[in-house]
Structure 1
């Protein structure tokens, strides 16, 4: 499968954009497509920034942010948010590893997941609203959050063993390994975005270094959490890691830019 097809597969995997692939897709193709997850995150971030900027021209910022978050959920099908809620349901409601996996596979949303999802969306809204005092900083934060959070979550692949789910699992197939080339492209994609924001004088070198440390710590904590709860990770865990990394980026941007 060519590089363009791999990028299309990454778009299909992470969004609801109606793209078709004529070639059959294997698990190995999904592993290879993971190299472009950050690039897809960049596209999502640019889309959100465009919607937010357009809405802010004639709507209060609070309303514009709600529409932007809604648009992002429609674009991605709430893919990562679903994983985030499932993780909290499973980890909060299950005692054994198997119980947790069974709860995470259940299509119903429980109390833990509902409360966690509510707090997640409220947190995003409040952090983005706080950044609205500086429109350039807000738009920059949105692009960085969508791109770098996917770098952080995807980089967990291979750091922990994949916890095999049965054939009735409701989750999609996921990437289970990253070779050196995939990992290099993934990190390079995130690095290019950081370098571009530096060239545009949107962030300083110290802000970039601090953000990298924060993302590393967030990923490390997620890794410890997943290892303690499951002894590995599932697709839902990667979704939760992406959402937690996104919140960490917004939080740092609020502290850094304001």
Structure 2
């Protein structure tokens, strides 16, 4: 393993998923993106960390509901609403088309339709209300876990499904992910589910929460993967963004369910 190459791949992932400037020496080659895929969950963890810090700082000054909104705004600012765009495009396409070609055409359209706008509003509202209902330490811990684990689950489709476009912004990423790279991504993304209240030590409830979250993520992954294959024969970059948003929201909801039960 070449440490300098791995650092280049990490910065490539950071530059692809966020608006954070990366050093000029990193450069860019299309094959960097596929090699960088294993670092996407690590970037997600950093994005979640920014959200958690903004939330904890803001909650000392503002009501919790406002602190959650500020934390959400910070993640949207850092990522440029990268995944939310995929969510809106997918819902517009899958909700407004019947044929494969029509789905791909609508998905490629930069304009947002009624289905996409409604889905985006519902998704953001659910995140806001779910996180606002959680105790502060759990909300902050789940922000990190959800951003990291959701990206690990989303890129797992690179290992099992086919990319369906001849070209596209996700094409350089969309080469088959090796088993080793997938394990690396899982190592960066999934262990955070064991610390829903932050890294303060494990106890039995953490293992049970992690098991429940993983079961929900596995079921959603299977269901969405089958749906993508049935509708378009595989996935696009927008499908990955859509999946990431669904996975992230599901982790918040499972976290809230554990508090409420």
TM-score per shorter chain, which class?
Answer: over 0.9
Matches of 2:214 and 2:42, distance apart in 1: 18
- TM-fit CA distance, 1:48: 0.4
- Tell me how far apart the structure 2 counterparts of residues 71 and 204 of structure 1 sit (CA, whole Å): 27
Return the alpha-carbon distance in structure 2 between the equivalents of residues 163 and 237 of structure 1: 11
Matched residue, 1:185: 184
Q: What whole-Å deviation, never above 9, does each CA across 1:83-118 have from its counterpart, x for those lacking one?
A: 010001111112211111111111111111111111
- Tell me which residue corresponds to 1:213: 215
Q: Does 1:159 align with 2:157?
A: no
Which of residues 175, 178, 181 in structure 1 aligns to 2:173? 175
More off after superposition, 243-252 vs 187-196: 187-196
Answer with 173-182 or 48-57: which moved more: 173-182
Q: Which runs of 4+ in 1 moved over 6 A?
A: none
Instruction: Choose the corresponding residue for 2:231, options 205, 224, 229.
Output: 229
Contact 1:215 1:245 in 2 (8 A): yes
**Are residues 75 and 104 of structure 1, via their aligned partners in 2, closer, same or farther at CA, if it must alter by over 3 Å?**
same
CA distance in 1, matches of 2:229, 2:235: 7
SS of the residue 2:112 aligns to: coil
Matches of 2:216 and 2:172, distance apart in 1: 26
Separation of aligned partners in 1, 2:200 and 2:184 = 21
Q: Does 1:110 align with 2:108?
A: no
State whether residues 31 and 172 of structure 2, in contact with CA within 8 Å, keep that contact through their aligned partners in structure 1: no
Q: Distance in 2 between matches of 1:153 and 1:180?
A: 15
Distance 1:240 1:151 in 2: 13
What TM-score comes out, normalization by structure 2 length?
0.91
For 1:195 and 1:141, locate their aligned partners in 2 and report how far apart those are by CA, in whole Å. 10
Q: TM-score, normalising length from structure 1?
A: 0.92
2: CA distance between counterparts of 1:173 and 1:42?
24
Contact 2:145 2:190 in 1 (8 A): no
Tell me how far apart the structure 2 counterparts of residues 199 and 222 of structure 1 sit (CA, whole Å).
34
- Aligned partners of 1:207 and 1:256 also within 8 Å: yes
Task: Give the drift of 1:66.
Answer: 1.1
Residues 140-151 of structure 1: pairs in structure 2 closer than 5 A: 140-151=141-152
Shift of 1:194: 3.8
| Cα distance, 1:175 vs structure 2 | 1.5
Contact 2:68/2:128, CA 8 A, preserved across alignment: yes
* Contiguous gaps of at least 5 residues in structure 2: none
Q: Which residue of structure 2 lines up, in the alignment, with residue 120 of structure 1?
A: 123
2:194/2:206 contact within 8 Å kept: no
Partner SS, residue 238 of structure 1: helix
Structure 1, gaps ≥5 residues long: none
Measure the CA separation in 2 of the matches of 1:39 and 1:182. Answer: 13
SS of 1:2's partner is helix
Tell me the equivalent position of 1:100: 103
Report what 2:47 is aligned to: 44
